[in-house]
């Protein structure tokens, strides 16, 4: 096999994978993970072979991981830029902005309609797949370092409260973005008029969540 043939073959495989990822992300976002068969994904991706999904990705969990990873690099690049811009800040709000803004900023680049956070919400509703999404999105080295910095600003919070409020922040980001994404796709009224404004509202709310006093048992 010549180099040119190998290159063409690799490009064809890459194109097919992208078509499958796009189709799967949309179908999972709209209908849920378990309501969508691999055959439907293959058909939506324009593939005559109903086994194309299994051939290119293996299991459904592998496919879901590939969809998440497709977005993670760009989101993390935005986060790295924001962290660099706020390197010397001592304001908790600036750190929360580094947590929040990468996702809406990435979604703004995808155009309308997009499906990414709706897809994430659907996947995370499945106990067997929840950990996969959390691992890919929220446990990168940069994310762990950022959360450590945020937690150092709140030394009075018990460990279990920090963990609880981190989970609250995660749900606020994904579900709020998913609702905005859904409204845009349906051409319906939105609570906020832009992704930037959506991020600002999330930052206000998440700062308040972390600053909230700890009550009794």
CA distance linking residue 85 with residue 63, whole number of Å: 34
| Distance (Å) of CA 200 to CA 21, 94, 123, 138, 183 | 30, 11, 26, 20, 18
**From the CB of residue 171, how many other CB atoms can be counted at a distance below 10 Å?**
12
DSSP-H helix ranges across 58-101: 60-85, 92-100
* Minimum mean pLDDT range among 63-67, 84-88, 140-144, 162-166: 140-144
Q: In the predicted model, is pLDDT for residue 80 greater than 80?
A: yes
> Distance (Å, rounded) from C-alpha 58 to C-alpha 149?
38
Average pLDDT over residues 29-38: 95
Q: CB of 76 within 8 A of CB of 33?
A: no
Among 170, 192, 26, 181, smallest CA distance to 108 is for: 181
- Band the pLDDT of 15: cuts 50, 70, 90: confident
Whether 11 shows a pLDDT value over 60: the answer reads no
Q: What is the band of 133 on the pLDDT scale with cuts at 50, 70, 90?
A: confident
Q: Does 113 have pLDDT greater than 80?
A: yes
pLDDT at 12: 66
Please state the rounded mean pLDDT for residues 2-30: 77
**pLDDT at residue 32 greater than cutoff 90:** yes
The answer to whether the CB of 20 falls within 8 A of the CB of 11 is: no
* pLDDT > 90: percent of the chain: 71
Query: Of the candidates 29, 26, 24, 25, which has an alpha carbon nearest to the alpha carbon of residue 39?
Result: 24
Q: Which two tokens stand for residue 126?
A: 């499945």
pLDDT at 215: 83
Q: Are 96 and 210 in contact (CB under 8 A)?
A: yes
Confidence of residue 14 (pLDDT cuts 50, 70, 90): low
Whether pLDDT at 90 is above 90: no
């Amino acid at each position: 096999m010549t180099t040119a043939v190998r290159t063409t073959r690799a490009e064809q495989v890459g194109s097919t994978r992208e078509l499958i990822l796009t189709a799967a992300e949309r179908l999972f976002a709209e209908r849920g993970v378990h309501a969508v068969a691999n055959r439907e994904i293959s058909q939506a991706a324009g593939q005559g072979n109903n086994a194309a999904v299994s051939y290119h990705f293996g299991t459904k969990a592998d496919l879901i991981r590939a969809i998440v990873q497709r977005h993670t690099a760009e989101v993390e690049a935005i986060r790295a830029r924001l962290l660099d811009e706020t390197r010397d800040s001592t304001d908790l709000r600036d750190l929360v902005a580094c947590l929040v803004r990468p996702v809406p900023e990435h979604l703004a680049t995808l155009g309308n309609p997009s499906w990414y956070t709706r897809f994430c919400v659907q996947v995370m509703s499945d106990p067997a797949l929840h950990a996969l999404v959390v691992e890919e999105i929220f446990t990168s080295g940069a994310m762990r370092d950022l959360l450590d910095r945020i937690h150092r600003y709140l030394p009075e919070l018990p460990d279990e409260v920090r963990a609880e409020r981190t989970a609250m922040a995660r749900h606020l980001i994904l579900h709020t973005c998913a609702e905005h994404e859904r409204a845009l796709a349906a051409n319906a009224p939105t609570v906020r008029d832009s992704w930037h404004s959506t991020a600002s509202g999330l930052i206000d709310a998440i700062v308040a969540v972390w600053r909230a006093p700890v009550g009794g048992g």
